[in-house]
Amino acid sequence: MREQEEKMLIRLLIILTPLILGATEPITPIPQSLPYNGAKAALGKHLFFDTILSRDQTIACVTCHDFQHGGADSRLVSIGVGGKMGRMQSPTVFNAVFNFTQFWNGRAKNLAEQAAGPVHNPVEMGMTTGQIEQRINADARYRESFHTITGRSIVTFADIAEMIAEYEKTLITPNGKFDRFLRGETVLTPNETQGYALFKRFGCVSCHNGINVGGNSFQKFGVIIPMQRTPNTDDRYALTGRERDKNVFKVPTLRNIALTAPYFHNGSAATLEEALRIMAKHNLGTKLTSLEINDIIAFLNTLSGQIPPKTITP
């Protein structure tokens, strides 16, 4: 009986949702650092920058997760081994650790799982597990480094993914202006303040919230006005096969968004302004004025944080 009542109460509370705004700020600052294993992260860093992981030894992780472009790819879609074109625009590796799932459609539960994806993808690095293990085990320095950490003489693919994932814990961008504002360390300009208010009022914040200003739910690309679905795109539909999941993607992070053009899963928006207009029109059913766009962009710029340091402190 109590359960029933409880359920009724929950139901009541869920449906009785008139327009109550968020009780607290829906965005939280990035911490200064996350706990990580120094030795593993250092080794992961090596791997991250090493083309040894790609078939023709031309591509490293960093190739498509360029630190100069906010940890993402400035190209429309990433180009893999042998100049092959990928299907998706590379999401940023920065703050990826805060995403609830990885990849545009969330098919990887965590970073280690994600790390395997591009390595195996024939249009990205194009390596099988066996090949990569063979290659790393043939390298005396890697073997030695892995041995020191794992205590095993043979390096497995899981070990490699684990090290890269550990390194990615260091790839966070704290102390952006907005984070400092949230911590009460600075104030926003009137434009930025207005931009943040619009961001909330228009409902952007419904999907772009949390530590990563996104990256914590799946949403449809084109809610009000449907978007043309790119064939063979890796949306949720590719994973679930449910009609409703067509053009549904993991909400991308807006952290460092000013640095990671082009935008969307297909890179279809070259600029922030363009991306904002598309989002307003298709997802919110509204049209933004230039003034509004300027203010929102001013706000989005405050989301750029410190680029991760080159050195790893164990």
Partner 1 sequence: MRLSFKIIVAIIAGIIALAALLYFQFFSENYFSKRQQITDQINAIETAEKSLDYQVLHSGFFLYLNQDNIISKIDTVEQRIVSLDNDHHINNEHLKTLKSLETYHEAFQRKTQSIYDFQTANSAIKNATMAILAIQKEAIVIFNSTHPDERLFLKEFTTISSSVLLAKNSLDSQLIDQLDKEIDILSVYQFKESNKQEISTALIGNLKVFRDFFPQYKEAIEQLEDAETEKALLGLRQSFSAEDHTELFTVKYFSYLLIALYISSLGLIIYFLIRSEKEARTDRLSGLGNRKAYEARVRRSAPSALFLVNINKFKNYNDFYGITSGDQILIMIAQRLITLCQSWDNAHLYRLGGDEFGILIDRQENKYLEKLGQTLLKEFYKEPIVIEEIETSLSITLAISTQAPLLETADMALKSIKKDRVKDMILYHEGLNLIQVVQENITKTHELRRAVEHDRLIPYFQPIISLHTGQIEKYEALARLIMEDGEIKSIFGYLDVVKESKYYPTLTRIMVQKSFAVMKNLPHTFSINLSIDDIADPETVKMIRTTLDKNPDIASRVVFEILESEAMHDYAKVVDFIRIVKGYGCEIAIDDFGSGYSNFDHLLTLDIDIIKIDGTLIQHIDTSPHAVMIVETIVGFAKKAGKKTIAEFVCNQAVFEMVKKLGIDYSQGYYTGTPEAL
In the chain, DSSP assigns E strands to: 218-220, 248-250
- DSSP code per residue over 118-174: HHH-TTTT---HHHHHHHHHH-HHHHHHHHHHH--SS--HHHHHHHHHHHHTT----
The number of residues in the chain equals 314
Task: Decide: 113 and 102 in contact? Cβ < 8 Å.
Answer: yes
Question: Which of residues 1 and 19 has its CB atom nearest to partner 1 in the complex?
Answer: 19
**Which positions from 238 through 267 interact with partner 1, judged by CB under 8 A?**
244, 248
Can residue 158 be called a binding residue for partner 1 (CB under 8 A)? Answer: no
Report the candidate in 54, 93, 298 with the shortest Cα–Cα distance to residue 215.
93
Cβ 52 to partner 1, closest distance in Å? 32
Can residue 311 be called a binding residue for partner 1 (CB under 8 A)? Answer: no
Which of 5, 124, 168, 274 is labelled catalytic?
Answer: 124
Task: Decide: 63 and 38 in contact? Cβ < 8 Å.
Answer: no
Q: What are the tokens at 95?
A: 């703050």
Out of 88, 155, 165, 211, name the contact with partner 1 by CB under 8 A.
211
283 φ, ψ to 5°? Answer: -100, -25
Q: Per-residue string for binding with partner 1, 5-24, x by CB under 8 A?
A: --x--xx-xxxxxxxxxxxx
Task: Decide: 305 and 179 in contact? Cβ < 8 Å.
Answer: yes
Can residue 100 be called a binding residue for partner 1 (CB under 8 A)? Answer: yes
The footprint of partner 1 on this chain (CB under 8 A) covers a number of residues equal to 46
Stretch that binds partner 1, among 131-139, 173-181, 199-207, 263-271 (CB under 8 A): 199-207
Could you confirm whether 273 is annotated as catalytic?
no
Could you give the CA distance from residue 222 to residue 230 in angstroms, rounded to a whole number? 13
Can residue 218 be called a binding residue for partner 1 (CB under 8 A)? Answer: yes
Say which amino acid occupies 287.
Answer: K
Can residue 197 be called a binding residue for partner 1 (CB under 8 A)? Answer: no
Cβ 222 to partner 1, closest distance in Å? 11
Task: Decide: 88 and 104 in contact? Cβ < 8 Å.
Answer: yes
Cβ 9 to partner 1, closest distance in Å? 9
Out of 35, 231, 232, 287, name the contact with partner 1 by CB under 8 A.
287
Can residue 1 be called a binding residue for partner 1 (CB under 8 A)? Answer: no
Out of 205, 279, 280, 296, name the contact with partner 1 by CB under 8 A.
205
Question: Which of residues 57 and 286 has its CB atom nearest to partner 1 in the complex?
Answer: 286
Say which amino acid occupies 306.
Answer: Q
Cα dist from 307 to 38, 95, 213, whole Å:
19, 11, 17
Cβ 293 to partner 1, closest distance in Å? 18
Which chain residues interact with partner 1 by CB under 8 A? 3, 7, 10-11, 13-28, 98, 100, 200, 203, 205-207, 209-212, 216-220, 223-225, 244, 248, 283-287
Question: Annotated catalytic sites, by residue?
Answer: 124
